[in-house]
């Protein structure tokens, strides 16, 4: 199959074979509006300096808010937070009315009950197809631990056993 024959469905099916954690990115725009979105395009980029990479759709309201404020938080969701993921994946006008959160040091909302959250400042960005790749410098981490919420083959999943290394 040539690259031009790959459809969005083909790519989603391929990507769905890779189990990922579920993350939510939140921010507070320069106008004071809260924004957030569920993503799975997130990865550690560098230890020195501490950098994380996220990818946001060009049409995402959260992208505009991140660009205006230059600050955001990345959250790794816990096994019991399927509904939090759904809220932030929705087009709901006030996603934050449905979740508990506190303001982080950088002003971004920090969602309660997550495995971990990182407060970041915008370091770099570049275009990648229909998404913007955001590189954030991690300025503060909140580690709570627990079992992760996973996403695999279009459905939420959880760990059912650990494999010895």
Alpha helices in 7-60 (DSSP H): 8-16
Whole-model pTM: value is: 0.92
Q: Average per-residue pLDDT in the chain?
A: 93
Lowest mean pLDDT, pick from 24-28, 35-39, 99-103, 153-157: 153-157
**Hey, how many other C-beta atoms are within 10 angstroms of the C-beta on 149?**
24
CB 132 within 8 A of CB 55: yes
CATH numbers and ranges of domains, the chain: 22-147 (2.30.110.10)
Q: What is the pLDDT of residue 116?
A: 98
Cα 70 from Cα 29, distance rounded (Å): 8
Contact 24, 84 (CB under 8 A): yes
Quick one: CA dihedral 98, 130, 30, 108, positive or negative? positive
Which of 123, 121, 117 has the alpha carbon at shortest distance from 146? 117
What average pLDDT score do residues 17-45 get? 94
pLDDT at 3 (0 to 100): 55
Kindly state the average pLDDT of the residues 14-36. 93
DSSP 8-class letter at 14: H
Give the C-alpha separation, 59 to 56, whole Å: 8
CA distance 34 to 160: 35
Q: What is the band of 100 on the pLDDT scale with cuts at 50, 70, 90?
A: very high
| pLDDT tens, position by position, 59-79 | 999 999 999 999 999 999 999
Q: Output the pLDDT for position 132.
A: 96
d(CA 109, CA 46) in angstroms, rounded, equals 24
Per-residue confidence band for 2, with pLDDT thresholds at 50, 70 and 90? low
Q: Is 39 in contact with 30 (CB distance < 8 Å)?
A: no
- Residue 12: pLDDT band by 50, 70, 90 thresholds? confident
Give the pLDDT of residue 1: 47
Q: What is the pLDDT of residue 120?
A: 98
């Amino acid at each position: 199959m040539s690259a031009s024959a790959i459809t969005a469905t083909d790519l989603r099916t391929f990507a769905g074979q890779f189990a990922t954690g579920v993350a939510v990115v939140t921010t507070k725009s320069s106008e004071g509006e809260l924004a957030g979105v569920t993503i799975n395009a997130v990865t550690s980029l560098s230890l020195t300096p501490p950098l994380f990479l996220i990818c946001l759709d060009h049409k995402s309201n959260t992208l505009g808010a991140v660009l205006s404020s230059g600050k955001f938080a990345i959250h790794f969701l816990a096994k019991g937070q399927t509904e939090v993921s759904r809220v932030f994946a929705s087009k709901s006008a006030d996603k934050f009315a449905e979740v508990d959160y506190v303001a982080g040091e950088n002003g971004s909302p920090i969602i309660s009950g997550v495995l971990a959250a990182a407060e970041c400042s915008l370091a770099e960005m570049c275009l990648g197809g229909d998404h913007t790749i955001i590189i954030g410098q991690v300025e503060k981490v909140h580690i709570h631990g627990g079992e992760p919420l996973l996403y695999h083959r279009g459905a939420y999943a959880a760990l059912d056993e650990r494999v010895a290394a």
